[in-house]
């Protein structure tokens, strides 16, 4: 049970304020752990950190359901990823714990699929390329403002187009489940009754917002407005320039600097995966 610092902090975080409170409590626990020389106390503080952030791991595990692995196995792997993140998190890196933990947990789950859940044994290099494509694809989509072609992905990754096409074609080659199997949601329903026709992109969006929230808080009002107008409202750089009173070229430079700074801050997070 979470005690002391964390006992009043919501484990189920539905608002930015809840997430900020959880992050602050996590950092305080980490600071106490770093200052302690008592191994029993250090372990207790580590367990509090894990329990405080357990819903984060569960949420990531739910994101990977329906791909051929048991739900309980996914949760256990996600928990291990959370423990790993808590063990390896360093306060001096000045990275929010959530920004370090989410890629670490996702990386553990992805490795589980790569190493343990393949029913069609494709070459290891293609398995690893799938992970690389999944990491780089959002950046490339942002640069192009559309879904990239296999040729553009290959050029971005400096690999052969054929390898990218093979990796994309092999996506989803995990252990299969019978569609007649009872679902985890309702025992009266089969897996065929509850499996989605299309993937719910809103979950990815929520995870992205969760990771970016601490980083975006460092931006000033003008930088935030530029990002909102460009990537949420879909304005052109010229339209943004007229709105804030600068030229299109200045908007381009400011936007590039913002994105470069965000990538630099997110790089330690992505490396954990």
Residues 6+ apart with CB under 8 A from 9: 2, 21, 22, 25, 52
Q: Whole-angstrom Cα distance, residue 189 to residue 187?
A: 5
- pTM score of the predicted model: 0.48
**Dihedral-angle region of residue 94 (phi above 0 means left; psi in -120 to 50 means alpha; beta otherwise):** left
DSSP letter string over 176-189? ---TTSBPSS-TTS
Beta bridge partners, 182, equal: 190
Each of the 273 residues of the chain gets a pLDDT tens digit; together they read 444 555 566 667 667 778 888 888 999 999 999 999 999 999 999 999 999 999 988 888 888 776 666 778 888 889 999 999 998 888 887 778 888 888 888 888 888 876 665 555 566 677 678 778 877 887 888 788 788 888 888 888 888 888 888 777 766 555 445 555 555 545 555 545 544 444 444 445 545 555 666 667 777 888 888 888 887 778 888 888 888 888 988 988 888 888 887 777 666 554 444
Domains and CATH numbers, the chain: 218-272 (1.10.10.10)
Q: Whole-angstrom Cα distance, residue 139 to residue 66?
A: 26
């Amino acid at each position: 049970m979470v005690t002391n610092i964390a006992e009043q902090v919501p484990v189920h975080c539905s608002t930015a304020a809840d997430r900020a409170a959880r992050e602050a409590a996590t950092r305080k626990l980490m600071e106490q752990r770093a200052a302690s020389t008592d191994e029993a106390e250090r372990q207790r503080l580590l367990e509090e950190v894990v329990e405080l952030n357990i819903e984060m791991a569960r949420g990531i595990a739910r994101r990977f359901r329906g791909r051929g692995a048991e739900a309980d196995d996914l949760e256990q792997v996600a928990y291990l990823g959370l423990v790993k993140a808590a063990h390896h998190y360093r306060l001096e890196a000045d990275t929010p714990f959530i920004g370090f933990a989410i890629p670490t947990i996702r990386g553990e789950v992805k490795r589980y699929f790569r190493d343990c859940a393949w029913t069609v044994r494709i070459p290891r290099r293609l398995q690893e390329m799938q992970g690389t494509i999944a990491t780089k694809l959002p950046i490339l989509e942002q640069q192009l403002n559309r879904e990239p072609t296999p040729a553009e992905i290959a050029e971005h990754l400096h690999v052969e187009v054929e390898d990218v096409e093979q990796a994309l074609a092999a996506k989803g080659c995990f252990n299969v489940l019978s569609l007649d199997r009872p679902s985890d949601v309702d025992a009266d329903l089969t897996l065929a009754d509850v499996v989605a026709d299309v993937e719910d992109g809103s979950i990815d969006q929520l995870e992205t917002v969760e990771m970016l929230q601490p980083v975006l808080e460092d931006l000033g009002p003008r930088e935030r407005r530029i990002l909102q107008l460009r990537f949420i409202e879909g304005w052109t750089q010229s339209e943004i320039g007229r709105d804030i009173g600068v030229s299109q070229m200045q908007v381009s430079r400011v936007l590039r600097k913002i994105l470069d700074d965000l990538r630099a801050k997110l790089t330690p997070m992505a490396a954990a995966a």
